Structure 1
């Protein structure tokens, strides 16, 4: 049997035992373990989060003219910046110094404002000339530079890795809606079919092992036959098919981070707010708040060793458009959270919002590279060499001054 026909056979066969793992609506979480005690969680906010509405520069006299009609005031942060009310549930973390933000930041991407190119550059960590050409991501390059990296036993059948963690370093994927239940006969048949195809053989072995391990956790160690296994998986998957997809992703990440994993990455969607931003942005920010609060709750004592970075591909226009939304822009904001974070601060070399201060007279001017904050987090958490960060992990980046992100 050829490789092509084996792949076709596998895709038909796994359809009998897998849920919607291949659906573009399902977000996988990607894990990696390593020989350090600190943890790093990277959340990619897809769609371009509006930093000016999320962390509002209320103390800038130009803001009111650009954003006339913001409907509801949120909590004050530091007398200059205020927080969007949809994130007000994070204020206890701010007050404890476990939440912060970096503002007026961006990748090197400029002007074309394509989601696809912007996300590629964000996850690849490279310059704009490499858009669409990168084959590995900055988080995987970090792992390649660290000794003793191993993969978590997890795999999402039918899902591509996030570019952020794609590369030669071993990592593993999991999807909250991936379930695989095979009879012993079907499992033996798959093993024979995949015997000469190492990629698919190893992947199916991981999928079977993960599915069985999760069912054993659900049943308190009781081994089940294929039918009972499928029933248990269907029951376990039910919440993720309804309203708890983000919670399932984050709880899984936290469970692994409490154990051997040290790196987790996942994405949240919905930040492309071209119209009625007063309605659309809160719907996107709510899962972000849920993710951070769930991590705080589920990680327990490990939270004190954890830094969370939430990053987006670019910002949005400084002015509302005619539909009460914002269009693709340049600089934006990133969120920093965790017990290891030196929070209670908005880190910003604030450029101002008068028209001459705007980038191309339409966007918040970027004053610092978002990759620099990720680089300093790596240096603080994992002791990465500055030269490796600037030459290998983020080629061509100048880290600049130390923002002292962690305790």
Structure 2
């Protein structure tokens, strides 16, 4: 039996083409059709693939040893936050959020991953929410999917996938919807007629194909429109939900960067029934020439957060938390090529109207050599999973035992840091 995902992949035979760049961004969304079991709170998780250098983003200029470790990187201008930490100018556009209490950082945090410093293993563990002591689990569910499995009465939006891969953080039996930008479905009239005839009596298959073509900006045939009209939401209604009254252009108009379109699309869905969104941003592997590479990556992150805020509007933004996390940090000392190598502890970026911002969270371990992990990396003083768990508990009221035993197996959450209002 062919499922809807197979159908959409099969469209390639009929002329479907997608961007094949190996680092293509994928956005994954989960929502509730019949009401909102998660209430009005929104959670956006951004995976920063490539190991973001938290010591460059959030610079401990108050630490005497910092400038010595980074004679080039630390010499560039930055923006004072609290007298000890400075913000990289690549995120200076977020400073008004800091002043408004809608931006915060967590410094010296990490997953339980240590020593091997592999991007693939690190990202697997980050998105699985497990530890190397539980290797089997990271091959299956992601921690956001396990959270959704615990929500009674959850009904996700119609499930489909277009693009290179799904977000592992939402992989699992709880139904989610996947969408990737830069997808072009080019069907000849004959091919479209063939699809209409083959799947005429199967509204689920027809809905999946029609929705994919709608997202690609194609006009639906009359027969597909009739089928969609029998469902809860028509193609016209869905298109209106995505486009109408949007403060930022979505999938049409001036050409936008991929990260911009991902953020716009996520915001549009979060304005509706969707409550959970996750997407990834790449470009954080700064082994050399970090000055330029970091600026470009931070510009994408800054725009993503600002476009989310703009697209959601003040009321929904006030109920939203954005967690931007990476698989591990980078070495304390810069290398000979003006970059940094794979490290251990790093930083999280947290934004939204639902947080208690204007603060750097986490215990600062210091940069004296004896305080470093393996005398080379920033020492982890907190588990990134604990920050995610406290966020979900604060937003949705999940039981501590469920979060520690099922969503993040083996986690000790510790005291509530007070990140969520």
Same fold (TM > 0.5)? yes
2:60 aligned residue: 57
1:117 aligned residue: 121
5 Å-filtered alignment, 1:253-264, equals: 253-264=266-277
Does the Cα contact within 8 Å between 1:180 and 1:208 map onto a contact in 2? no
Q: 1:330 to 1:203 in 2, by over 3 A?
A: farther
Deviations along 1:150-194, one digit per CA (max 9) or x if unpaired, are: 222463324322110010101000112224354675346347768
Q: CA deviation at 1:351?
A: 0.6
Q: Find 1:376's aligned residue among 358, 365, 390.
A: 390
Compare 69-78 and 162-171 and name the one that shifted more.
Answer: 69-78
5 Å-filtered alignment, 1:32-47, equals: 32-34=30-32, 35=36, 36-47=39-50
2:403 aligned residue: 389
**Cα distance between partner residues in 2 of 1:57 and 1:207:** 51
Alignment partner of 1:105 is 2:109 = yes
**Cα distance between partner residues in 2 of 1:190 and 1:10:** 11
**Cα distance between partner residues in 1 of 2:369 and 2:408:** 32
**Cα distance between partner residues in 2 of 1:296 and 1:217:** 30
2:210 aligned residue: 208
Cα RMSD, aligned residues only: 3.1
**Cα distance between partner residues in 2 of 1:311 and 1:109:** 14
Q: 1:236 to 1:107 in 2, by over 3 A?
A: closer
Q: CA deviation at 1:20?
A: 1.4
Alignment partner of 1:127 is 2:125 = no
Q: 1:47 to 1:118 in 2, by over 3 A?
A: same
5 Å-filtered alignment, 1:230-379, equals: 243-300=256-313, 301-379=315-393
Q: CA deviation at 1:204?
A: 6.7
Does the Cα contact within 8 Å between 1:310 and 1:336 map onto a contact in 2? yes
Paired residues in the alignment total: 387
Q: TM-score, normalised by structure 1?
A: 0.87
Other structure's SS at 1:61 match: coil
**Cα distance between partner residues in 2 of 1:10 and 1:312:** 31
Compare 138-147 and 70-79 and name the one that shifted more.
Answer: 70-79
Q: CA deviation at 1:258?
A: 0.5
**Cα distance between partner residues in 2 of 1:236 and 1:389:** 35
- Structure 1 unaligned segments of length 5 or more: list them: 230-234
1:232 aligned residue: none
Deviations along 1:222-259, one digit per CA (max 9) or x if unpaired, are: x79xxxx9xxxxx986779x652111111110001011
**Cα distance between partner residues in 2 of 1:74 and 1:366:** 24
Q: 1:62 to 1:217 in 2, by over 3 A?
A: farther
Does the Cα contact within 8 Å between 2:9 and 2:162 map onto a contact in 1? no
**Cα distance between partner residues in 1 of 2:322 and 2:250:** 27
